[in-house]
Every structure is written in C-alpha cells, then in structure tokens.
C-alpha cells in the first residue's frame, strides 16, 4: 500500500489545543485518516459519511470488509441522522452512560454507507467521553467511523506508540494524549434483538447496564468461558498477541501454583517465559526467572494495563505468555473476554 509520512502531535488530554484539533478535523473532512485517543483505546478515524475515506480504514488495518465499524458522535442529537428510530431505551441508556464506553446497535438510516455497516441494516454508534475525541468529532462536523487503531488480529492500542507501532506510514496524523484510562474497548449492546443483548463486554459493566435496563442479556456465546471450554477451536482469535498465550483460571492460590509449575517446566526446556499477574501474585514470582508484568490490584487497573502488558511481553521476545484469570464481575467480564481471545481458547481450568 501507499506509504504516507506519519506525524505524531502531542495534545493535552483535558484541554486539547484548538489549533491541533482544527488541523486534525480538516484532514478528516478531506477524507484522510486520523488516529485519536478515546477513553477506551486509540481509534483509527475517518469521516463516516464518505465511503472512500471509510475504505482507507479497511486498507490501513487490513481489516475484512465483513467487520462493521462503530460510528462516533459528539452529542446525542447526532443519532437522529444515523438511525431510523430512537427507541425509548436509548434515552435511558444515553442519560446514564453517554459520553462513555457504551456502543449501541440500532436500525441504520440509508445515509450510513454500506461499507460502515458491512451491509447490515444496523449501525453501531457511540459517544466517547475523552475530551480530545469529543473536540475532534465536534470540529470535524461529521460522524467519525473508527475501529481500534491496531492492525487486524493484533491487540488494541492504549497508547499512541502502540498505534504507531502497528500503522506507521499508513496514516498521516496521530494525536497523542497519553495512555487511555479505561483500557478495554466499549461494551457493544444490541438494541435490535428481542431483548437488549451484549455482543461484546467492555467498559460499561453488565451490572451497570442492568441497573438501567433489567432485561439486558449477558455476553455473546463465543466469548464466554463456558463456550470456550466446549469448543476452544471455535473461538474468534481477535486480540491475539504474536506469541502463544495460556490463560490459567481458578482460585488465586491454585493459579499461582500452576503458573509457577508451568514456568519451571518451560524454563527447564530453555524457554523464556512471560507472566501477566496481579499485585498479590508478585512475591510468589520473585525468583521464578519469568519476565513479570504486573497488572495492578483492582479490576480498573487490570483493564487499563492489560493490552500494554501483552505488547510489552511480546516485545521482550518471550516464547510464551502465561496469564492469570480474574473474577467475573464489573470490568472482569471484559478482562476475561480479552484474555480468552488473546489465548485463543488455551485455558487451563483449576
């Protein structure tokens, strides 16, 4: 593909410089790509209403045209032009969670290019809460289609450097506002099926959604651990690091023991082992000889550091990554889903 010079501009995360925003917005209006921060992960943006601009997203990412994009808006009013009707549930959800990491799948209006929806009659829409994202969409004056700014099949980027590592030379501009606060992608909620259904767990938890809409149905079959157990080969390997990963799942003490034993076994074979663990596990791994990456102690910290941890271990050249599992509440559902995908269904149940 054509090689472009990629410029990275620093931008203030809370009070974005207007001149930088205007420059990026002008590129978007001209049909170019801009990588920008959101509170979840960095996005690879284009004007959602220009099919040629949207096509550039698929080319840069090497993404399959069958995978639809999320359209980002800067206010709730912008929904009207993108969807054929706004069900009452939408108002309740947007009042509670917008701006924020909740994507709503709604009936698409004919104004939305087929390239954005991958030919579906629905469109996914979200209003991010990152000040840079909001300012950029507002200044562009158009809705912005944006997938995560990684190459197809790689881990989503939570820093501008991650995005550049994957897409350098394919995008003219990257806005760098530092690391993303949430660290896992938005929750995708389908409002076009009988009951509201989570298609991808993410930054807004199932519990929080149920506090507003009690009939919200939990995740997507192929991303639940139970399904992973039944048919590991069926799992979509989507957030895969480039080295094999194994997920250890069970009580904390059992996970630590099994991960240590596996580290020892592999080291005896001359392998270099990376482990993704929580703060409470660190003492146990002190003299393990593994390359340790610590995710933190709360689920919020773990979510924020997870993708960076996978990338860091990948770059250290480890032969294998051993990850521990986390509890299935709050952000834990999204964390577990991403770990399951990163491990391609290689789960050791304890």
DSSP state of 109: P
Considering the complex, state which of residue 129 and residue 256 has its C-beta at the smaller distance from ligand TXA: 129
Q: Alpha-carbon distance 108 to 87, whole Å?
A: 13
| Minimal distance, residue 161 CB to ligand TXA, in Å | 16
Rounded distance between C-alpha atoms, residue 161 and residue 154, angstroms: 14
Least distance to ligand TXA, CB of residue 229, Å: 22
The nearest distance, CB 299 to ligand TXA, in angstroms, is 17
Please, what is the minimum distance in Å from the beta carbon of residue 149 to Mg ion?
9
Helix, strand, coil content of the chain in percent (nearest 5): 35, 20, 45
CB 134 within 8 A of CB 118: no
Q: Give least dist CB 275 to ligand TXA, A.
A: 26
Which of 62, 215 has the CB closer to Mg ion? 62
| Number of residues binding to Mg ion, judged by CB under 5 A | 1
What residue has token string 């592999």? 266
For the CB of residue 151, give the shortest distance to ligand TXA in the complex, in Å.
11
The binder of 117, among ligand TXA, Mg ion, none, by C-beta within 5 to 8 A per type, is ligand TXA
Chain positions 133 to 192 lying near Mg ion, rule: CB under 5 A, are 148
- Residue 30 contacts by C-beta under 8 Å, 6 or more apart in sequence? none
From ligand TXA, Mg ion, none, interface partner of 197 (C-beta below 5 to 8 A by class): none
Q: Which is nearer to ligand TXA, 322 or 342 (CB)?
A: 342
- Shortest approach of ligand TXA to residue 202 CB, angstroms? 6
* C-alpha 172: how far from chain center: 22
- Cα(187)–Cα(198) distance, integer angstroms: 7
CA torsion 55-148-129-198 (nearest 10°) is 100
SS3 per-residue string spanning 66-84: CCCCEEECCCHHHHCCCEC
Pattern 197-236, Mg ion, x by CB under 5 A: ----------------------------------------
CB of 156 to Mg ion, least distance (A): 5
Structure tokens at 292: 């340790």
- Comparing every residue's Cβ against Mg ion, the nearest one is 148
The DSSP symbol for 46 reads E
The count of other CB atoms within 10 Å of the CB of residue 52 is: 11
The smaller minimum CB distance to ligand TXA, of residues 130 and 266, is found at 130
Across the beta sheet with 347-349, what order do the strands follow?
291-294, 273-277, 320-324, 245-249, 347-349
| Nearest of 239, 223, 243 to residue 231 by alpha carbon | 223
Please give the Cα distance from 279 to 295 (Å, whole number).
7
- Tell me which of Mg ion, ligand TXA, none is bound by residue 71, counting a contact when its beta carbon lies within the kind-specific cut-off of 5 to 8 angstroms: none
- Give me the 106-135 binding string for Mg ion, x by CB under 5 A, dash otherwise: ------------------------------
| Binding-site ranges for ligand TXA (CB under 6 A) | 38, 40-41, 43, 67-70, 101, 103, 105, 117, 120, 122-124, 126, 128, 146-148, 185-186, 188, 199-200
Task: Please report, as ranges, the residues that interact with Mg ion according to CB under 5 A.
Answer: 148
């Amino acid at each position: 593909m054509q090689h472009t010079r990629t410029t990275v501009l620093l931008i203030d995360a809370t009070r974005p410089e207007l001149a930088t925003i205007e420059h990026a917005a002008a590129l978007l209006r001209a049909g170019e790509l801009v990588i920008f921060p959101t509170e979840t992960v960095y996005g690879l943006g284009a004007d959602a209403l220009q099919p040629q601009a949207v096509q550039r997203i698929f080319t840069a990412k090497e993404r399959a045209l069958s995978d639809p994009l999320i359209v980002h808006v800067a206010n709730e009013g912008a929904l009207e032009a993108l969807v054929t009707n706004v069900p009452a549930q939408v108002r309740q959800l947007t009042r509670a969670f917008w701006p924020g990491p909740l994507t709503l799948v709604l009936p698409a209006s004919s104004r939305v290019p087929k390239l954005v929806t991958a030919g579906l009659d629905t469109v996914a829409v979200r209003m991010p809460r990152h000040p840079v994202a909001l300012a950029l969409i507002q200044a562009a004056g158009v809705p912005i289609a944006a997938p995560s700014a990684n190459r197809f099949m790689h881990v989503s980027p939570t820093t501008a450097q991650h995005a550049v590592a994957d897409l350098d030379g394919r995008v003219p501009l990257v806005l760098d506002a530092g690391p993303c606060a949430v660290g896992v992608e938005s929750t995708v909620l389908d409002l076009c099926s009988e009951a509201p259904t989570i298609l991808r767990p993410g930054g807004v938890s199932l519990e929080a959604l149920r506090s507003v809409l009690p009939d919200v149905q939990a995740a997507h079959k192929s991303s639940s651990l139970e399904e992973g157990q039944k048919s590991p080969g069926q799992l979509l390997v989507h957030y895969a690091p480039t080295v094999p990963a194994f997920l250890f799942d069970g009580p904390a003490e059992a996970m630590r023991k099994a991960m240590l034993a596996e580290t020892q076994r592999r080291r005896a074979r001359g392998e270099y082992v990376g482990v993704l663990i929580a703060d409470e596990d660190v003492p146990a791994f002190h003299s393990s000889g593994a390359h340790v990456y610590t995710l933190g102690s709360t689920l919020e910290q773990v979510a924020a550091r997870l993708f960076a941890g996978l990338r860091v271990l990948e770059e250290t050249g480890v032969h294998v990554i051993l990850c521990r599992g986390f509890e299935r509440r709050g952000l834990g559902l999204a964390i577990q889903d991403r770990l399951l995908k990163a491990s391609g269904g290689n789960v050791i149940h304890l």
